[in-house]
A and B are shown apart, each in its own frame.
Chain A
Amino acid sequence: GQQVMQIPQYQHVQEGEDFTTYCNSSTTLSNIQWYKQRPGGHPVFLIQLVKSGEVKKQKRLTFQFGEAKKNSSLHITATQTTDVGTYFCAGRVRDYKLSFGAGTTVTVRA
């Protein structure tokens, strides 16, 4: 089964509001990555976190890796219609394999 769990599965957001999606693993991850998939498209790499407690920002997106390297979060501020899509986290569990979460699908109300 999936080793990386992601919540919530759906996020309905009013334009301009903030939201956070969370990623949790039962095992320690050597890295965590985030991908975005627009409706009808393919997943696109956003960012990778490697260090315990690491925080990275991309404009309105803030990514965090937990101290124990078992959880991560993506926080989006001032949501825009361009943020619509499904956000996946993925962790390296061993060898050359990634375990993907089930994704958070974001819809935005204008």
Chain B
Amino acid sequence: DAGITQSPRHKVTETGTPVTLRCHQTENHRYMYWYRQDPGHGLRLIHYSYGVKDTDKGEVSDGYSVSRSKTEDFLLTLESATSSQTSVYFCAISDQGAYEQYFGPGTRLTVT
């Protein structure tokens, strides 16, 4: 498996609180992605990064922000968590963009 870690792996939080998820890679890949996975929807892109400080929105970006200050780290922030953001969040990396992607182990987030 590619060197990708996500933290935390599990989190329970209350509605209205901010939450930050971290993705860390040791592969020096240029592209990093945040997806959420919900039953019946597959993987939906939240935000992605094509370089340090270069980010763009995906199809479900409302309520989420990202930052990438170093090649190896990509942070996903839920500004004010809502129950609809209860999901499994996966980080992925790629050295060629929309080609072969390697996924992290995932973070299971529950918003109560």
Contact = CB atoms under 8 A, between A and B. Distances in A.
Interface of A: 1-2, 6, 9, 30-31, 33, 42-45, 48, 88, 90, 92-93, 95-103
A100 B42 contact: yes
B45 A43 contact: no
A48 B100 contact: yes
Interface stretch (B15-23, B74-82, B101-109): B101-109
A100 B43 contact: yes
A35 to B, nearest CB: 8
Contacts, number: 59
A59 B42 CA distance: 26
A95 B97 contact: yes
Nearest to A1: B59
B40 A9 contact: yes
A44 B43 contact: no
B48 interface: yes
Contacts of B56: 95
A9 B92 CA distance: 23
Interface residues on B, range: 20 to 34
Contact of A97 (B40, B42, B58): B58
Nearest to A94: B98
Most buried by B among A9, A45, A101: A45
B101 A96 contact: no
A97 B43 contact: no
Contacts of B43: 43, 88, 90, 100
A2 B65 CA distance: 21
19 contacts: A2-B42, A2-B44, A31-B98, A31-B99, A42-B90, A42-B103, A45-B100, A45-B101, A48-B99, A48-B100, A88-B43, A90-B43, A92-B98, A92-B99, A93-B98, A96-B48, A96-B97, A100-B44, A102-B40
A74 to B, nearest CB: 15
B50 interface: yes
A40 to B, nearest CB: 9
